[in-house]
Amino acid sequence: MTGSIASIGMGIAVIGAAMGIGNIGAKAMEAIARQPEAVGDIRANMILMAAFIEGAALIAIILSFLVAN
Amino acid sequence: MRRYLICLIYTLAFTFGAAAQDHSGHNHDHSGHDHSHHGHDHAGHNHGSHEGHNHSTGCGAHAHEFDPGALAIHHIGDANVYSIGPLNIPLPCILYNKDLGWKVFMSSKFGIGHHGDGHYAIDGYVLDGGSVKRVQDASFPMGKVEVNGFIHGKDESGKFMSSVCYNETLYSLDAKSTADGGIFGGGITSFYDLSITKNVTAMLIVCFLLGLAFFGAAKKYRNNAGKAPSGLQNLLEVFIVFIRDEVAKPFLGHHWAKFLPFLLAIFFFIVGLNLFGQIPFLGGANATGNLAVTMVLAIFAFIVTNINGNAHYWKHLLLAEGTPSFVKPILIPVEILGLFIKPLTLMLRLFANITAGHMVIIIFVSFIFIFGQSGANPVGGYGAAIGSTLLTMFMMAIELIVAFVQAFVFTILTASYLGAATEEAH
């Protein structure tokens, strides 16, 4: 039964990360629309920020994977 | 119009390849470790060669339910055999146990059979599903003895266990030896496996190819100085200039020239391994999806960052300069934790992204067996083959992007940590 509870934890972690990355994407699109000439800088920073959020979510996912085992 | 036609033909060819596997699979039991050729894409692999073969002799039949999870974990794992389709290329095994000492031999000595299962046990070591495992029981005979197959199941506590069948008796096996702390069934066990495994072979091949490409390009720059670049030189220049202008210069300031070689080495090594692991029908060594490999890369990033950290960086980290004194007891432990969390996330991010992509592909391919009910329902199998082929092709396209993005992310994060460590006081 621990497996199924761990997968719920995994899902909750992904919800948080999805909201965060979604926000970053939305704001980046807005920023690009306002200043199309800054697209390179905005894209690089967008990927960087998304990677930070991803890191937090991944730790949660790996932990739930370990619990599930 | 012609483009659509070509796409359609490719899809059909892929589908028939995938379906052929389903069709030929109806004769042998589908325990998780069966049909285990080591590519991440099964489409097109034909398993017709081992119909009717099964290992159960005396230790009871081991017909299990088809388990996509176990299949996926087996396929993304490392192995002591390099399997390309029906071909099993033996690799050197370097094993250490404190009682037995060092053992060095080629894995062909195990007599590699179907699914990477060895026919022989060598000094208590066996080859189960492509990876070396060790018999726990001390009464197991030393030297070369014939074994009769492997049985996989779960013990009372629900832990995944393997046993080997020898002389009508079951002997339980230690898990394979991995440095990843046992997330995928391995761990530090009674022996150390320092073999040239599939992943190590892939890394050596990629290093060789990268060396070939870069020395070739370097030679061209020397010979054609001042002239327009040509051939592979063009491709490499695009990436090098991109890393220099988008990663090194913005993050590292005037230190960029010192760290550019390190960043380039990381980028090309990761991108090379990511792409090499994605070539269909080539064994699919999942090196960047292996925690040990990404751990070493992250440790390199950690060491280079901290060796080059200046006084300002360490003061900021250990004394939390410029913050009110009541915040310091909270902030300093958090900063010190952050020091280790940074390489930890670097390690996990690359590992999880690559592994997740491969797992999704394997699960998509597994749909064929799930809907085909392991051959009992060919119509469902063929139907699922069309869908899963399209999904797999889509997923492989995504993985192609991920291969570059993750290499870029690893490089840019390393550069940003390095930049924070080498920044002068402001």
Q: Which residue has the higher pLDDT, B404 or B1?
A: B404
Phi, psi of B145 (to 5 degrees): -130, 155
pLDDT band at B21 (very low <50, low <70, confident <90, very high): very low
Give the pLDDT confidence score for residue B123 in this predicted structure. 86
d(C-alpha B193, C-alpha B180), whole Å: 13
Most A-contacting residue of B349, B404, B418 (CB-CB within 10 A), to test interface? B349
Is any Cβ of chain B less than 8 angstroms from the Cβ of A65? yes
Cβ atoms B191, B74 nearer than 8 A:
no
Q: B416 to chain A, minimum CA–CA distance in Å?
A: 9
Is any Cβ of chain B less than 8 angstroms from the Cβ of A40? yes
Task: Quick: pLDDT tens for B328-383.
Answer: 888 889 989 989 999 999 998 999 899 888 988 988 888 888 888 777 788 888 88
Choose the closest CB to A44 out of B159, B246, B341.
Answer: B246
d(C-alpha B378, C-alpha B26), whole Å: 9
DSSP assignment, residue A14? H
Cβ separation A61–B352 shorter than 8 A: yes
Tokens for B367, please give them: 């749909």
Interface of B with A (CB under 8 A): 159, 182-183, 246-247, 250, 341, 344-346, 348-349, 352, 405, 408-409, 412-413, 416
Give the pLDDT confidence score for residue B408 in this predicted structure. 93
Return the ∠ at Cα B180 (arms to B156 and B288), rounded to 5°.
Answer: 130
Average pLDDT over residues B215-226: 88
Is any Cβ of chain B less than 8 angstroms from the Cβ of A47? yes
d(C-alpha B398, C-alpha B396), whole Å: 5
Task: Quick: pLDDT tens for A42-69.
Answer: 988 898 889 889 888 888 887 887 777 6
pLDDT band at B45 (very low <50, low <70, confident <90, very high): very low
Tokens for B273, please give them: 């391994």
Tokens for B115, please give them: 């699914």
d(C-alpha B9, C-alpha B173), whole Å: 47
Cβ separation B345–A65 shorter than 8 A: no
Choose the closest CB to B348 out of A48, A59, A69.
Answer: A59
Nearest to B318 by CA among B334, B300, B332, B302: B332
Residue of chain B with shortest Cα separation from A56? B345
Give the pLDDT confidence score for residue B53 in this predicted structure. 37
Choose the closest CB to A51 out of B183, B246, B349.
Answer: B349
Average pLDDT over residues B98-115: 84
The answer, yes or no, to whether residue B111 has pLDDT greater than 50, is yes
- Gyration radius of chain B over CA positions: 25
Mean pLDDT of chain B: 80
Type of residue found at B115:
H
d(C-alpha B360, C-alpha B355), whole Å: 9
d(C-alpha B318, C-alpha B315), whole Å: 5
Question: Which residue pairs from B122-128 have beta carbons closer than 8 angstroms and sit at least 24 positions apart in sequence?
Answer: B124/B100, B125/B93, B125/B95, B125/B191, B126/B150, B126/B164, B126/B173, B127/B80, B127/B81, B128/B33, B128/B162, B128/B164, B128/B173, B128/B176
DSSP assignment, residue A3? H
Nearest to B48 by CA among B13, B85, B99: B85
Q: B348 to chain A, minimum CA–CA distance in Å?
A: 7
Sequence-distant (6+) residues with CB within 8 A of B65 are B30
Cβ separation B408–A40 shorter than 8 A: no
Choose the closest CB to B352 out of A52, A56, A58.
Answer: A58
Q: B351 to chain A, minimum CA–CA distance in Å?
A: 10
Most B-contacting residue of A54, A61, A64 (CB-CB within 10 A), to test interface? A54
Mode of pairing for the β-strands spanning B160-166 and B150-154: antiparallel
Number of C-beta neighbours around residue B405 at 10 A: 16
Cβ separation A59–B349 shorter than 8 A: no
Q: Which residue has the higher pLDDT, B218 or B7?
A: B218
- What percentage of chain B exceeds 90 in pLDDT? 27
Task: Quick: pLDDT tens for B127-184.
Answer: 888 888 888 887 888 888 888 878 877 766 666 778 888 888 888 888 788 877 666 6
- What percentage of chain B exceeds 70 in pLDDT? 81
Cβ separation A55–B408 shorter than 8 A: no
Cβ atoms B44, B138 nearer than 8 A:
no
DSSP sequence for B367-423: HHHHHTGGGT-HHHHHHHHHHHHHHHHHHHHHHHHHHHHHHHHHHHHHHHHHHHHHP
Choose the closest CB to B348 out of A47, A48, A58.
Answer: A58
Nearest to B246 by CA among B25, B2, B40, B416: B416
Give the pLDDT confidence score for residue B1 in this predicted structure. 54
Choose the closest CB to B349 out of A58, A65, A69.
Answer: A58
Q: Is the dihedral of CA B146, B152, B153, B155 positive or negative?
A: positive
Average pLDDT over residues B221-244: 88
Nearest to B178 by CA among B194, B155, B159, B167: B194
Q: How many alpha carbons lie under 13 Å from residue B51 in its C-beta half-sphere?
A: 11
Q: Is the dihedral of CA B394, B397, B403, B409 positive or negative?
A: negative
Chain B residues whose beta carbon lies within 8 Å of the beta carbon of residue A58: 345, 348-349, 352
Number of C-beta neighbours around residue B98 at 10 A: 8
Which helix (H) or strand (E) segment holds residue A48: the answer is helix A39-68
Is any Cβ of chain B less than 8 angstroms from the Cβ of A19? no
Chain B residues whose beta carbon lies within 8 Å of the beta carbon of residue A40: 246
d(C-alpha B51, C-alpha B58), whole Å: 20
Sequence-distant (6+) residues with CB within 8 A of B129 are B33, B36, B74, B79, B115, B116, B117, B150
Tokens for A61, please give them: 């996912």
Query: Number of A:B CB contacts under 8 A?
Result: 41
d(C-alpha B165, C-alpha B151), whole Å: 7
pTM: 0.81
d(C-alpha B362, C-alpha B68), whole Å: 8
SS3 per residue for B52-113:
CCCCCCCCCCCCCCCCHHHHHHHHHCCCCEEEECCEEEECEEEEEECCCEEEEEEHHHHCEC
For the ranges A23-32, B156-165, B322-331, which has the lowest average pLDDT? B156-165
Q: At what angle do helices B2-24 and B378-422 cross, to 10 degrees?
A: 110
Cβ separation B352–A47 shorter than 8 A: no
Cβ separation A54–B344 shorter than 8 A: no
